[in-house]
């Protein structure tokens, strides 16, 4: 996608709700459920978006193929996630936007045959949309739903169409 996409006030409200199935519970409970799901589904790519969800997965020996992080949890700076990646991609992505640079970094990370980390200077929240649209069918994208649990998105045609609709409704700046 070419251009910068900016969140509209209407979409901001809509995107506060989970964009897929929500797994509620403690970090341990959600990690156990995700481990079981990953073992059953054997996703083409396992992608995490967010520092807390990535830390929880790694601390429970579930290693994503791609981790998208910004060294923040609930908008507060934290130490970088301890996640060994073969490739690290840096990108700038201001809050409430999806930059072309971030889109390219995520595509490179997902297309890499090795474990990758995308380090975001700014905010990674909306990059879940890019991860879903860039991931091959049969992948799983996981992100945290603040104070509730984690959202698990199985990448299939219906999910991609829904996320393309979100992108179309964002304000595009060329």
Per residue in 104-124, pLDDT (tens digit) is: 999 999 999 999 999 999 999
> Could you report the per-residue pLDDT of 36-84, keeping only the tens digit for each?
999 999 999 999 999 999 999 999 999 999 999 998 887 788 888 888 8
Would the pLDDT of 1 be above 80? no
Domain-wise residue ranges, the chain: 4-173
Of the chain, the end-to-end C-alpha distance in Å amounts to 10
Nearest to 155 by CA among 173, 174, 136: 136
Exposure string of 67-93, with b = 16+ CB inside 10 Å and e = fewer, is bbbbebbeeeeeeebebebeeebebeb
- Beta strands per DSSP E along the chain: 4-6, 22-24, 46-49, 66-69, 72-73, 76-77, 87-93, 97-98, 116-122, 140-145, 149-154, 171-173
> What is the pLDDT at residue 81?
82
């Amino acid at each position: 996608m070419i251009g910068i996409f900016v969140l509209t006030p209407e979409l901001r409200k809509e995107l506060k709700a989970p964009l897929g199935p929500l797994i509620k519970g403690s970090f341990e409970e959600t990690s156990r459920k995700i481990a079981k799901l990953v073992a059953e589904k054997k996703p083409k790519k396992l992608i995490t978006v967010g520092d807390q969800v990535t830390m929880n997965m790694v601390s429970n020996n579930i290693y994503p193929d791609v981790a998208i992080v910004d060294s923040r949890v609930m908008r507060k700076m934290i130490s970088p996630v301890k996640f060994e990646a073969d490739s690290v991609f840096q990108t700038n992505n201001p809050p409430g936007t999806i930059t072309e640079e971030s889109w390219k970094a995520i595509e490179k990370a997902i297309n890499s045959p090795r474990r990758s980390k995308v380090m975001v200077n700014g905010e990674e929240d909306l990059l879940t949309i890019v991860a879903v649209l860039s991931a091959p069918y049969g992948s799983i994208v996981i992100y945290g739903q603040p104070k509730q649990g984690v959202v698990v998105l199985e990448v299939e045609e219906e999910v991609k169409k829904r996320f393309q609709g979100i992108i179309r409704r964002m304000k595009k700046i060329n």
